[in-house]
Structure 1
Amino acid sequence: MNTVSQPLVIGRPSLLRIYLSEAAAELLRLLRTPSFSVPTLAFPLVFYVLFGIVPQGHWGDLHKATYLLATYGVFGVIGPALFGFGVGLAIERQQGWLELKRVSPMPTGAYFFAKIAMSLVFALAVILELSVAAIGYADTHIAIGTWLLWVAALLLGTLPFCALGLWIGTLVKGQAAVAVVNLVYLPMSVLSGLWMPLAAFPTALQKLAVVWPAWHLSRIALGVIGQIREVHYLSHVGVLLAMTALFLSLAALRLRSV
């Protein structure tokens, strides 16, 4: 008896599956990169314990541990966005992976979705570990609704830093991006009042804080968590959205030329 072979038909994977697969691969890659995952998860917690929990007390009407929970939360969530996009894109450009992905059938959006998803996963991990430390060891009391709103503000607030990291990644290649990101990340964190209140700085530096996107996100975080009053949320959100659009536009121009 003759049998007629049927052609093997492989269905086209769904767009959602492509996006999720790329995000899972990106997350796994970074979890297997200790030089990224260990500092990203450890540094915010170590700094918060050293400066927010060990020397407990108040700054006037401010509860030190709660105040620094908000600001070190900002410090912790912008790190994965800056390094994940800035350093990741720069290394992939140098190694030729970006060109390979460009000519592959994978949608361009999946590449950026994967990096944004990675930033959010690491950001959420940092938020959770800081929250456990604050609530468990620093006598910090936050209503569940307030905490959820604070978490949402921090996660959404990573977008301008993803855009900034993307732009940096288009400017330099390889390990040079690590130095450039650090030159932006650390001074911005200090001068935005994430490590200590801006009142400890000279007046001129306090006035210049408005140029940093981290300062605007920290004002939102501090307002949500109840450590400062009269926060102009719409203006801070507007500045962050404008900075996101600016950095995305600059990155798009660079990507067209590289």
Structure 2
Amino acid sequence: MSNSNIISTSPNANIDVEALQLTTQQTAKLFYLETKFEWLKSIRNPAFALPATLFPAIFYLFFGVLMNQHDPQAATFLLCTYGTFGVIGPALFSFGAGLAVERGQGWLDIKETSPMPASAQIVSRLFVSMGFSVIVLLTLGVVAFGLAGVSLSLLQILMLSGILIIGGLPFCLLGLTLGLFLKAESAPAVVNVIYLPLSFLSGLWIPITMLPDYLQSFAQFLPPYHLSQLALKVVGQDAGGSLIQHLLILVLFSALFFASAMLAFNKKSV
């Protein structure tokens, strides 16, 4: 009797497994398509793509090459700080300004009524932000190794790239919060007001030691400073502080930004 039950239920079990596999494949395809079209939309938007990919390299060319007087050590330092500056921009603008504009145009409401998982919007923007971070680091690398005399080992290049690309996550969460709170008309300006002073005060444009003492102390409370210090540790030019300390502070900021994003999302849903 037990054997007959097993035989009778086996076809249903096979159907369930096939249905589950089909559902998983369909979900993966939705994530892939959303990421693909989010990427195409972003890369074809010159107002976003050009500043995101070229501004860090232009700033680095000016400060790390033209004003550097052939100092490879200073150029290496600035490669880390401008690399940090470069990966933060796509994270903030893709999630912050981009999300706010789409929300104002009603696109988010349309997507919420579709069968696409809500998380696909977030995951797609995360991958797009990481993709732009890779482009930023490649352009910086061309200038640094080709014109500034920077010399790093392959291991250092991989470590530096990995830290900066993954380190953009807290700023994606900050951008998500801004994108859910801000109105479409004000979002780009507000993101710029946050992005540029935050970068300067964190020592990403000029070495933190060139700032007044009180600003150097204030930088300890800013997440870009800690990400840049992780990057500078790779080349042995950080200002001190343990690796664990910098990581914990970035994780803490990530948790705070995530909580604020969920608050903004729940407020929008009410």
TM over 0.5: yes
Post-superposition Cα deviations, 1:84-107, rounded to whole Å, max 9, x if no partner, equal 000111011111111111111001
- In 2, the alpha carbon distance for the partners of 1:113 and 1:158 equals 13
**1:213 corresponds to 2:220:** no
Aligned twin of 1:195: 205
Map 1:121-160 → 2, pairs under 5 A: 121-160=131-170
Map 1:47-66 → 2, pairs under 5 A: 47-57=59-69, 63-66=73-76
Contact 1:67 1:227 in 2 (8 A): yes
Map 1:1-258 → 2, pairs under 5 A: 14-57=26-69, 63-228=73-238, 230-258=240-268
Post-superposition Cα deviations, 1:41-98, rounded to whole Å, max 9, x if no partner, equal 1110100000001123478xx8111000000000000000000000111011111111
Aligned twin of 1:7: none
- In 2, the alpha carbon distance for the partners of 1:142 and 1:231 equals 23
Contact 2:126 2:172 in 1 (8 A): yes
Q: 1:236 to 1:190 in 2, by over 3 A?
A: same
Q: 1:128: Cα distance to partner? A: 0.7
The letter for the 2-side match of 1:135 is: F
Contact 1:74 1:194 in 2 (8 A): yes
Contact 1:44 1:72 in 2 (8 A): yes
Post-superposition Cα deviations, 1:165-193, rounded to whole Å, max 9, x if no partner, equal 01111111113111111111000100000
State the identity as a percent.
42
Contact 1:57 1:63 in 2 (8 A): no
- In 1, the alpha carbon distance for the partners of 2:89 and 2:266 equals 26
2:220 match: secondary structure: helix
- In 1, the alpha carbon distance for the partners of 2:223 and 2:70 equals 26
- In 1, the alpha carbon distance for the partners of 2:122 and 2:183 equals 18
- In 2, the alpha carbon distance for the partners of 1:111 and 1:54 equals 41
Contact 2:100 2:183 in 1 (8 A): yes
Unaligned runs of 5+ in 2: 1-21
Q: Please, what TM-score do these two structures have when normalized by structure 1?
A: 0.92
Q: 1:68 to 1:195 in 2, by over 3 A?
A: same
Relative to total residues, which structure has the larger helix share, 1 or 2? 2
Q: 1:211: Cα distance to partner? A: 1.4
- In 2, the alpha carbon distance for the partners of 1:31 and 1:152 equals 22
- In 2, the alpha carbon distance for the partners of 1:27 and 1:242 equals 29
Q: 1:231: Cα distance to partner? A: 4.2
The letter for the 2-side match of 1:51 is: F
Unaligned runs of 5+ in 1: 1-10
Considering only CA atoms, is the larger Rg found in Structure 1 or Structure 2?
2
Measured on the aligned residues, the alpha-carbon RMSD in Å equals: 1.5
The letter for the 2-side match of 1:131 is: G
- Number of residue-to-residue matches in the alignment: 246
The letter for the 1-side match of 2:50 is: V
Contact 2:230 2:238 in 1 (8 A): no
Q: Please, what TM-score do these two structures have when normalized by structure 2?
A: 0.88
